[in-house]
Amino acid sequence: GQQLNQSPQSMFIQEGEDVSMNCTSSSIFNTWLWYKQDPGEGPVLLIALYKAGELTSNGRLTAQFGITRKDSFLNISASIPSDVGIYFCAGELPRAGAQKLVFGQGTRLTINP
């Protein structure tokens, strides 16, 4: 099936540092979504992107929908301990009526105090 390549797979940073992660695909996507998952919980939607080139912020989080529609990135500024978790990108393929998402493999973020 279609795959999203998410990188890096894991990150170990110091509190206060900025974080950047991205997702790429060989396929074009209509929609990009970014989720965060805490241990033992379901993913929580952070940001949704609907237009190529769109740049959207949610507090310290900023995400962009790539111009080619084949990639997206998520930045977190001034990381804090509660940012720890697994971040997933998800994309919706332009198949009529599908409205299904494909998920990346996740980026595990660890913060050293």
Partner 1 sequence: EADIYQTPRYLVIGTGKKITLECSQTMGHDKMYWYQQDPGMELHLIHYSYGVNSTEKGDLSSESTVSRIRTEHFPLTLESARPSHTSQYLCASSGSGGASYEQYFGPGTRLTVT
Would you tell me which residues interact with partner 1 (CB under 8 A)?
A: 1, 30-31, 33, 35, 40-45, 48, 50, 86, 88, 90, 92, 99-101, 103-106, 108
Containing 13, the helix (H) or strand (E) segment is strand 10-14
Residue 2 CB, nearest approach to partner 1 (Å): 9
Mention every residue, 6+ apart, whose C-beta is less than 8 A from residue 74: 20, 21, 22, 34, 46, 47, 61, 62, 63, 87, 89
Cβ proximity to partner 1: between 8 and 16 the closer is 8
Residue 52 CB, nearest approach to partner 1 (Å): 15
